[in-house]
């Protein structure tokens, strides 16, 4: 973690409270009534436009080689189509890149829910994290000040001159524009199979107890017994990234860990019962975001549904409410049809994507000695 | 450096008439030039063959840096005088550095490292190089994790430091140990000062006279290392690149920001304030450490921002009484050393002095580049 501009430990403390309050399955079928469309979020258009350019700009990473969009690709629902994400050059990722669509409606972020404050902090984390963008934000600020387009955009957005602080505001403003629209579910145009699937989702299959609310997540963490992705531990470039992450997060005995401990970092328990809990993801836009789960272990929605039908995976601390569902093959297909009906229009138009060329080098400021820095 | 060339042309005529101005009668209160012995070895980081071998590999290894592209050797190239042959050093990808890359040869003898002495030992210097935003841009946890996945390193760290897993702090110790083997102390001058009177030519001997006398170099370049390790403003002009290159302008401002100058100063400053960043004293603006002079032949360009491409330019610069920068003319400060005055050296004397400077360099220090060991998966602990 870059020392400048990062407060991850502090943020961890803020989100620990979440873990303690896991709602018991079955007692509440939460949010069933408000599973309607995601309400568009009001944004400041100029700030969001600025955030959009920043999101697609490689110069926001330490060696100017990758941008947010390298991993969060518009055509892939702002994920990357890989089981495990890429990383900053020199490293490789150990988790699946989540979609950013509707991320502004979440209460906490990342597969382990380690940030529970706001997208401003998430943005800083992404920019400064060694294996994500490895950027010293002071250098980033000076790069932005060198680009006349940014100087104007920051000013027009009411931010004054380019600064770290405004970057961390403008990108979240842009992320707020990424909301689902026009899914068959929202438009009321689901197929009969999808409708049957929805009934199962709310009823027999009990999916809605965790996948609740308009964004189909209760923002809580559970152990489903998702199998480990062996590549994390067999590919040294991934394993070492996990070791670096774990060292920073204070995971004990890190050299012997061969399991992504997930949300255990927030609230470690001696008996290991918090190990391998992961955040409930949104179920919107799944059509674009395969493979699935925190480690990309499932390639298709049918595999995911089959996994639930089986009662989840193998883990001694698996959530007790996961039981074999005894769904027929047809019911499983209906459930998949429903999940597919939760995907809307791709957000890959000009409204969401910065299409103009972003320069990769910098022009000199003229009359440099005479102008103020 | 174009600036100095122009000035010296202009002043040449005038200087000849300024008879004795600039003769410094130093030498009485400063240590004389002396042959260089062995470097000090700190008690808490003794040399060993295996440690030096490891340190050499690490010096070459770009995995000790952010994106695994930029190792120490990238900016300290053995065939570029163990520095970097451009006025401003190359930087981490996407950046340029803002100072000239110093040679690491003989850095083992220095009390403080860097142009303004910002690091107090080689062990402390290495991490700031590997982590600096425009140098290695690495982070400890990532670099340490990478080392653990290189079986050959696990073995060499264990042999050197007794640890099961490599510690990043030990990596710096190993690199420091390797640097302590990059010694250049058998130059013609060393031989001469040890008694071999034939080691210097007649011209070089005249140059030595000038160095100790009329040219006054000895006032600062004294003792066995040819440096007093103190800081002076000679009036080396600001880098021209800052006015012309967007990338260099970014780094220039970043350095001000990173070094914590006041907002007011950040807005105004257009030149490298040198020692000021450490002391925050106005009198220290524009001051840089007197460099040691050994290995000079291989380390062009010269000065903290590489203003001069050859030693004749350097000597002409001194002959005209140094130069001007933002800290000599009162723009920011007036800190030019009073020791720097026009010297009134004739053209022949300039040649003699330049010939003498050559005597600070012996054979080029060539080493066989190491083979870097690959990553490998870690065995599963359960199956151990």
- Output the pLDDT for position A5: 42
Do B79 and B152 fall into the same domain? yes
3-state SS assignment for residue A277:
strand
- Output the pLDDT for position B25: 47
Do B286 and B332 fall into the same domain? yes
User: Are B66 and A64 within 8 A, CB to CB?
Assistant: no
**Rounded distance between C-alpha atoms, residue A209 and residue A227, angstroms:** 22
Whether B276 is in a domain gets the answer no
- Output the pLDDT for position B7: 34
- Chain B residue closest to A249 (CA)? B141
- Output the pLDDT for position A35: 81
To the nearest whole angstrom, how far is the Cα of B1 from the nearest Cα of chain A? 19
Contact A331, A200 (CB under 8 A): yes
Contact A138, A162 (CB under 8 A): no
To the nearest whole angstrom, how far is the Cα of B68 from the nearest Cα of chain A? 5
Residue to mutate among A236, A360, A361, A371, with most B CBs inside 10 A, is A236
ipTM of the complex: 0.90
User: Are B137 and A130 within 8 A, CB to CB?
Assistant: no
Read off the pTM: 0.93
Structural domain including B120 reads: 51-179
Do B234 and B330 fall into the same domain? yes
Structural domain including A76 reads: 45-175
Whether A208 is in a domain gets the answer no
Do B226 and B303 fall into the same domain? yes
To the nearest whole angstrom, how far is the Cα of A370 from the nearest Cα of chain B? 9
Last residue of a domain, one of B135, B157, B179: B179
Whether A15 is in a domain gets the answer no
Q: What pLDDT, in 10s, does the model give residues B220-233?
A: 999 999 999 999 99
Whether B68 is in a domain gets the answer yes
What residues in A contact B378, CB-CB < 8 Å?
233, 236, 239, 255
Nearest 5°: phi and psi at A230? Answer: -60, -20
Q: What's B20's domain CATH number?
A: 1.10.760.10
To the nearest whole angstrom, how far is the Cα of A372 from the nearest Cα of chain B? 5
User: Are A62 and B139 within 8 A, CB to CB?
Assistant: no
- Output the pLDDT for position A307: 98
Average pLDDT score, chain B: 92
Helix extents (H) in A146-267: 148-156, 164-175, 184-187, 192-202, 231-234, 236-249
Do B58 and B147 fall into the same domain? yes
- Output the pLDDT for position B251: 98
- Output the pLDDT for position A3: 52
Whether A130 is in a domain gets the answer yes
Nearest CA among B89, B187, B77, B175 for reference residue B132: B89
- Output the pLDDT for position B29: 86
Helix axes of B140-148 and B151-161: crossing angle, nearest 10 degrees: 100
Whether A187 is in a domain gets the answer no
Residue to mutate among A142, A160, A245, A255, with most B CBs inside 10 A, is A142
Instruction: Provide the β-strand partners of residue A221.
Output: A279
- Output the pLDDT for position A187: 96
Whether A31 is in a domain gets the answer no
Whether B248 is in a domain gets the answer no
- Chain B residue closest to A128 (CA)? B139
User: Are B253 and A373 within 8 A, CB to CB?
Assistant: yes
Domain tally, chain B: 2
Where does the pLDDT of residue B288 fall: very low under 50, low under 70, confident under 90, or very high at 90 and above?
very high
Secondary element (H or E) of residue A71:
helix A68-71
Q: What counts of helices (H) and strands (E) characterise chain B? A: 15, 2
Secondary element (H or E) of residue B58:
helix B49-60
User: Are A373 and B142 within 8 A, CB to CB?
Assistant: no
User: Are A139 and B141 within 8 A, CB to CB?
Assistant: no
To the nearest whole angstrom, how far is the Cα of A309 from the nearest Cα of chain B? 31
Q: What's A153's domain CATH number?
A: 1.10.760.10
* Average pLDDT rounded to a whole number, residues B6-26: 36
Do B340 and B216 fall into the same domain? yes
Do B189 and B331 fall into the same domain? yes
What residues of chain A score a pLDDT lower than 70? 1-33
To the nearest whole angstrom, how far is the Cα of B258 from the nearest Cα of chain A? 7
**Rounded distance between C-alpha atoms, residue A142 and residue B259, angstroms:** 14
Q: Which of B142, B269, B376 minimises the CB distance to A91?
A: B142
Report how far apart, in Å, the C-alpha atoms of A148 and of each of A143, A161, A274, B2, B94 are.
10, 11, 49, 31, 18
Please tell me the least confidently modeled range out of B285-294, B326-335, B357-366: B326-335
Domain tally, chain A: 1
Contact A349, B232 (CB under 8 A): no
Q: Which of A64, A90, A141 minimises the CB distance to B94?
A: A64
User: Are A62 and B137 within 8 A, CB to CB?
Assistant: yes
What residues in A contact B133, CB-CB < 8 Å?
62, 136, 138-139
- Output the pLDDT for position B28: 62
Residue to mutate among B94, B148, B166, with most A CBs inside 10 A, is B94
Do B63 and B112 fall into the same domain? yes
């Amino acid at each position: 973690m870059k020392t400048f501009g990062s407060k991850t430990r502090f943020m961890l403390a803020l989100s620990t409270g979440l873990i303690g309050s896991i709602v018991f399955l079955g007692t509440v079928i939460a949010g069933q009534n408000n599973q309607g469309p995601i309400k568009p979020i009001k944004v400041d258009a100029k700030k969001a436009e600025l955030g959009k350019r920043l999101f697609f700009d490689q110069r926001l990473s330490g060696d100017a080689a990758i941008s947010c969009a390298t991993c969060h690709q518009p055509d892939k629902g702002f994920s990357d189509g890989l089981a495990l994400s890429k990383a900053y050059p020199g490293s490789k990722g150990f988790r699946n890149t989540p979609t950013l669509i509707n991320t502004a409606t979440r209460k906490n972020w990342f597969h382990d829910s380690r940030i529970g404050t706001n997208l401003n902090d998430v943005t800083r984390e992404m920019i400064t994290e060694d294996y994500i963008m490895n950027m010293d934000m002071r250098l980033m600020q000076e790069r932005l000040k060198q680009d006349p387009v940014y100087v104007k955009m920051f000013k027009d957005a009411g931010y004054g001159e380019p600064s770290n602080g405004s970057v961390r505001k403008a990108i979240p403003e842009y992320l707020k524009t990424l909301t689902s629209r026009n899914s068959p579910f929202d438009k009321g145009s689901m197929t009969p199979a999808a409708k049957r699937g929805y009934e199962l989702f709310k009823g027999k299959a009990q999916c809605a107890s965790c996948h609740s609310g308009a964004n189909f997540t209760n923002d809580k963490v559970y152990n489903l017994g998702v199998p480990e992705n062996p590549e994390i531990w067999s590919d040294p470039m991934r394993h070492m990234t996990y070791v670096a992450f774990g060292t920073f997060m204070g995971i004990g005995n890190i050299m012997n860990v061969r399991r992504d401990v997930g949300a255990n970092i927030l609230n470690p328990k001696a008996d290991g019962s918090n190990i391998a809990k992961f955040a409930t993801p949104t179920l919107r836009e799944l059509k674009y975001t395969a493979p699935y789960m925190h480690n990309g272990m499932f390639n298709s929605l049918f595999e995911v549904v089959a996994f639930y039908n089986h009662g989840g995976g193998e883990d001694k601390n698996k959530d007790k409410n996961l039981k074999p569902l005894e769904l027929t093959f047809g019911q499983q297909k209906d459930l998949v049809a429903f999940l597919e009906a939760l995907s809307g229009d791709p957000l890959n138009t000009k409204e969401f994507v910065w299409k103009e060329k972003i320069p990769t080098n910098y022009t000199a400021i003229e009359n440099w000695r005479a102008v103020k820095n | 450096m174009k600036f100095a060339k122009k000035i010296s042309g202009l002043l040449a005529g005038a200087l000849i008439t300024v008879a004795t101005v600039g003769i410094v009668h130093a030498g009485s209160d400063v240590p004389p030039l002396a042959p260089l012995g062995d470097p000090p070895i700190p008690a808490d980081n003794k040399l060993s063959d295996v440690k030096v071998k490891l340190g050499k590999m690490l010096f070459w290894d770009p995995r000790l840096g952010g994106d695994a592209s930029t190792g120490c050797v990238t900016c300290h190239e053995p065939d570029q005088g163990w520095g970097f042959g451009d006025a401003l050093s190359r930087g981490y990808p996407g950046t340029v550095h803002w100072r000239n890359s110093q040679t690491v040869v003989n850095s083992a003898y220095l009390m403080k490292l860097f142009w303004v002495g910002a690091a107090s030992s080689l062990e402390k210097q290495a991490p700031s190089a590997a982590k600096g935003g425009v140098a290695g841009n690495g982070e400890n946890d990532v670099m340490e994790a990478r080392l653990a996945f290189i079986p050959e390193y696990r073995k060499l760290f264990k042999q050197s430091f007794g640890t099961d897993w490599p510690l990043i702090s030990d990596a710096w110790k190993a690199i420091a140990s390797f640097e302590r083997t990059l010694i250049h102390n058998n130059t013609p001058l060393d031989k001469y000062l040890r008694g071999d009177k034939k080691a210097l030519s007649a011209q070089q001997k005249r140059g030595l006279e000038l160095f100790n006398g009329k040219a006054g170099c000895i006032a600062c370049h004294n003792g066995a290392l040819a440096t007093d390790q103190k800081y002076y403003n000679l009036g080396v002009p600001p880098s021209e690149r800052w006015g012309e290159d967007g990338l260099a302008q970014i780094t220039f401002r970043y350095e001000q920001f990173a070094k914590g100058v006041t907002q007011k100063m950040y807005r105004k400053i257009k030149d490298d304030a040198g020692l000021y960043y450490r002391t925050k004293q106005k009198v220290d603006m524009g001051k840089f450490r007197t460099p040691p002079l050994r290995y000079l032949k291989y380390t062009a360009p010269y000065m903290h921002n590489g203003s001069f491409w050859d030693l004749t330019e350097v000597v002409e610069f001194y002959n005209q009484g140094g130069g001007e920068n933002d800290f000599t003319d009162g723009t920011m400060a007036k800190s030019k050393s009073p020791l720097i005055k026009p010297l009134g050296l004739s053209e022949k004397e300039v040649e003699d002095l330049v010939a003498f400077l050559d005597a600070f360099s012996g054979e080029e220090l060539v080493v066989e580049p190491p083979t870097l060991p690959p990553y490998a998966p870690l065995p599963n602990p359960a199956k151990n």
